[in-house]
Amino acid sequence: MESSSPILTAHGAAIPAIGFGTSMLGGRAAEAVAAALEAGYRHIDTAWKYGTERGVGDGIRASGMPRGDIFLTTKVSHEYLRADDFERSTNESLRTLRVDQVDLLLIHWPNPDIPLKETIGALVKMKRQGLTRHIGVANFTTVLLDQAISLCQELYQEPLVTNQIEVHPYLDQTKLLAACRRHGMIVTAYCPLGRGRLFGDSVLAEIACSKGRTIAQVALRWLVQHGDIIPIPRSSNPQRIAENFQVFDFTLSEPEMARIAALKRANGRIANAMGRVGAWD
């Protein structure tokens, strides 16, 4: 099946508007990635911390899809943000994936015990060595994001193209989304389905029923319809993998978008960093 995903652009990066997440897939990663590519995905997200890089690489090769047709992201974990460790981790990821470079390399979580200046320098070095085409961050607050972008601009004149953060209807990320837009960045949304918490929601169920869609499709459509948010849903079920990709052939009305936005709640956050980010926005 040919991809019908729109492409979002930021600072020279062209990224398919929906990606396939691979966290927690374990030994199912290769089969799931191959199914995702068959369903039309051309954007695959992994990380050293997930333990799925080998499976992602195997799934890409099993699919027969040319490497150049796939936008591939991986991440360096917070334990390895010192310069030498960062480079070793990046090279290990490339060896495990069995690729020469990734399309996007991210700092997975910030680490307050390691100077951000050192980590940003290491990240930029990976780009300049050709190990990644683009660079970005994940789980950065507005304060950390401003600091990272200042370092990138002032020292290297290199852009950060994305901040990968938790985004779904139950979590209010208004402030951080606005910061990313101010910097001309794309937001990559992990946990876009709230790790299943959205599936019992009556508002989403009502909208889904009215459109003949699944709750997952409605939640994902809500994200992509913002125009600068790329969700990366995860599943090991081939039918759900395919359904989650089918979000570009219907539209939510402005009142429906507003009803979904109103679902945010104080306890909506799923992923936490045990103090790595300081105060969340």
What are the pLDDT digits (tens) for 79-120? 999 999 999 999 999 999 999 999 999 999 999 999 999 999
- CA 75 to CA 102: how far, in whole Å? 10
The angle formed by the CA atoms of residues 16, 19 and 22, to the nearest 5 degrees, is: 150
Q: What value does the mean pLDDT take over residues 161-179?
A: 98
Tell me, what's the pLDDT at 275? Answer: 66
In the prediction, which pLDDT does 2 show?
A: 47
DSSP state of 279: S
Q: What is the pTM of this model?
A: 0.96
Residue 274 reports pLDDT greater than 70: no
Per-residue model confidence (pLDDT) at position 1: 41
User: Three-class SS of residue 127?
Assistant: helix
Domain boundaries, the chain: 14-261
| 243, 44, 280, 121 alpha-carbon torsion, rounded to 10° | -170
The answer to whether the beta carbons of residues 106 and 93 sit under 8 Å apart is no
Measured CA to CA, the distance from residue 179 to residue 41 in angstroms comes to 28
Provide the token pair at 250.
């219907």
Q: Which residues are known to be catalytic?
A: 50
% of the chain beyond a pLDDT of 70: 98
Residues belonging to the chain: 281
Q: Is the pLDDT of residue 131 over 70?
A: yes
pLDDT for the residue numbered 4: 73
Mean pLDDT of 119-136: 98
Check residue 85 and give its pLDDT: 98
14-261: CATH homologous superfamily? NADP-dependent oxidoreductase domain (3.20.20.100)
Across the range 160-184, mean pLDDT stands at 98
Band of the pLDDT at 233, cuts 50, 70, 90? Answer: very high
Nearest in space to 188 (alpha carbons), one of 234, 136, 114: 136
Contact 44, 22 (CB under 8 A): yes
In this prediction, residues 183-199 reach a mean pLDDT of 97
Query: Taken in order 129, 47, 232, 267, is the CA torsion positive or negative?
Result: negative
pLDDT band at 276 (very low <50, low <70, confident <90, very high): confident
Residue with tokens 């099993």: 62
What pLDDT is attached to residue 258? 98
Q: What are the strands of the beta sheet with 132-138, ordered from one edge?
A: 20-21, 43-45, 71-76, 102-107, 132-138, 162-166, 186-190, 229-231
Cα 250 to chain centroid, rounded: 23
